[in-house]
Amino acid sequence: NSDERSAPTVAMLLSGGVDSSVALNLLKRQGYSVTAFYLKIWLEDEVAHLGQCPWEDDYRVCQDVCAQAGVPLETVSLQKEYKESVISYTVHEAERGRTPNPDIMCNSRVKFGCFYDAIEGRGFDFVASGHYAQLVNDTDAEGQRRLLRAPDPVKDQSYFLCALTQTQLKRILFPIGHLQKSEVRELAEEFDLPNKKRPDSQGLCFLGKVKFDEFLAAYLGTRPGDIVDASTGDILGKHNGVWYHTVGQRKGLGKVLNPLATSRGPWYI
């Protein structure tokens, strides 16, 4: 109908989780013309041996959510781009003993980077996601957008969006960014979403159920070395590679420290 044709168009990033599913339904309720996109970034070939393919379940849920909402769903494969821009960065930083933040790279280079390129020419007015963050017009600089924290301090994801440029921010909608997680769960019940009971996912988007240490082991292997007390020079244990640890770490050191050293803890890297 003519209303549908004149409505602003949105490319909605759908993951299969409750947050993006609620965001999609809010956009529909607000009168937007929505097309959902599932980004396939799982690296089947490289880490298939580490566990089952996690994206099949997610995609099935996306299909159910879109069928219920009457929204078309498309899949965009960005595996090559993801490997080049996020995986290579993650491995490179970890190998040098630095702590990578793949989510920041994923948002700036893939979800709101390569994906923009993939849908270029389709004429979408906006790109939306289920992130917990808020965007407002900057009162000091005309035409600029400001990225603000979400009111839910636990779920706030503004930090992971900090590398987005003004060009990227100008096209983004965060439909649930102003809500508490509890309110999003209530909306999931109200919309009677097929995934309303689905638990929140944790960890890195490309790893699925694979542990980060296992992923690093597949790419970097081991390079053992001594763990040394910075103040006395005493050797406290042996690590399997600096990339398995991070500055300030306390948790999980017991398995690489000598028993006597463990009892003198806590230790921090």
Catalytic residues: 106, 205
Are 223 and 241 contacting, i.e. CB atoms less than 8 angstroms apart? yes
List own/partner pairs for 88-93 with CB under 8 A and 24 or more apart. 91/216, 91/219, 91/220
Which residues lie across from 134 on neighbouring strands? Answer: 148
Helix (H) or strand (E) segment spanning residue 39:
strand 33-40
Residue ranges of alpha helices (H) inside 96-165 are 102-105, 115-118
Q: How far is CA 249 from CA 5, 10, 62, 241, 252, in A?
A: 54, 41, 37, 14, 8
Map residue 108 onto helix, strand or coil.
helix
Q: Helix, strand or coil for residue 23?
A: helix
